[in-house]
Amino acid sequence: MSRPIQIKKHPFPSLLYLEWTLLAITALIAVIPPPLRRFRPKPPELSICNTFPDWSVCSILPDMSIYSLIIFALMGLILPNNNRTTKVIYTASEILLILIIGLFGERFARLFPFLYIILVTRSCLIFNLPGRLFITSLSFTLFLLTTQLKYQLFNFQSSPQAQERFRFFSLNWSLVFGLSLVFVLLMMNAVLSERHSREKLAIANEKLREYAMRIENQATLQERNRIAREIHDSLGHSLTALNLQLETALKLWQSNPGKAEIFLATAKELGSKALKDVRQSVSTMRSNPLQEQSLERAIAILSEDFHRSNGILPIYKINLEYALPPEINSAIYRITQESLTNISKYAYATEVKLELATTKGNLQLIIQDNGRGFDLKQNTTGFGLHSMRDRTLALGGDFNINSAPGSGCKITVNIPLTRL
């Protein structure tokens, strides 16, 4: 099966235009008579019909050459598809048409080698590399055979000196033609390879875009689940306890106002805690926490917030030799934020240390507390730890936790850096 070529959708429209230009030049050469030569007689046209004019078939061969050229030109508008047999028949038909034009075309025969160039160009769009090499070699071989046949025909009607000139001309023309075929083959292979690379790159970019969208959707879903769990575990618990305290205070307000006041004070504390949890969740959901501020300043703000909430001022030391990429800044900020949140909720620590430094192409973050710790075999599946580990691994880094019941916790993050 074959398909018609749509010029606007042709993969290489410039090649199609070049093919039409060569065919137009060939047709013009056939129409325009050769220039008159003043000092030497006009050489005969090198065709079989001029050598054997008595052939009865020679009266129709010139018309056959014109029709062959037209058919060859029209074949360029249709390329065979994946069917190998169709490709072979298509190419064999092209070769047959070129031989008819070259052997019997008289004036067409002057430029018939250009048709082989068109043949090689088309074969590059049809076959793989082995097929292209075969067609190129076959084209050069047929050109040599055709030239040799014309040389033998020329011997019947020329002097020895003219034969020697024709032999020299044929040798040089064969060399130029062979180099032209090699150049066309190399150019087409380069163009096709570049086009194939662009297609593979486009496919890879599309897959990467789809993968990024899936990762983004998954990260969004995980963040929603985390926020929902935080609301359920912290805010939901605080509001439930607050409601119970208020109900008890209402019941005791008439009979025991003093005790009711105690329940109201407890309710107020629960309300304050719920408000703090809401603010913390909103802070966590900010899309760009480092906007218009450095990583050092952002960590300092986290430490101040931790101090206000827990009465403990973290001891932090930051030593960055050069600016970090935005994605690393954001990851370090989120890991630090999540670590301080976990310490605030579960550690019951009295001392927190934070170290951030760049050393020998590596960024190291250490967050350590002296809290109650936990068993690594039982408490390493929480969303907070999972999120910190994922952020580190996404940057090609290492995430380690050292903890034991009663011995505090130490989180170490190492991220490789590429200095620009």
CATH of the domain at 407: 3.30.565.10
Q: What is the domain extent for residue 11?
A: 2-158
Give tens-digit pLDDT for 89-113.
988 988 888 877 766 655 545 555 7
Domain shared by 154 and 6, yes or no: yes
Structure tokens at 243: 């409601």
Q: Is residue 218 one of the residues assigned to a domain?
A: no
The answer to whether 65 and 100 are in contact (CB under 8 A) is: yes
The answer to whether 173 and 150 are in contact (CB under 8 A) is: no
* Listed residues 125, 143, 158: the one ending a domain: 158
Q: Identify residue 374 by its one-letter amino acid code.
A: F
Q: Is residue 264 one of the residues assigned to a domain?
A: no
Q: Is residue 148 one of the residues assigned to a domain?
A: yes
Q: Which of 48, 62, 228 is nearest to 152 (CA)?
A: 48
Q: Is residue 369 one of the residues assigned to a domain?
A: yes
Q: Is residue 260 one of the residues assigned to a domain?
A: no
Q: What is the 3-state secondary structure (H, E, C) of 219-244?
A: HHHHHHHHHHHHHHHHHHHHHHHHHH
Residue 38, pLDDT score = 43
The residue that leads in pLDDT, 205 or 5, is 205
* Listed residues 121, 139, 158: the one ending a domain: 158
Which letter does DSSP use for residue 3 in this model?
E
Q: Is residue 97 one of the residues assigned to a domain?
A: yes
Q: Is residue 384 one of the residues assigned to a domain?
A: yes
How many structural domains comprise the chain? 2
Dist. CA 357–CA 135, nearest whole Å: 64
Give tens-digit pLDDT for 225-244.
767 766 666 677 678 778 88
pTM of this prediction exceeds 0.85? no
Q: Is residue 414 one of the residues assigned to a domain?
A: yes
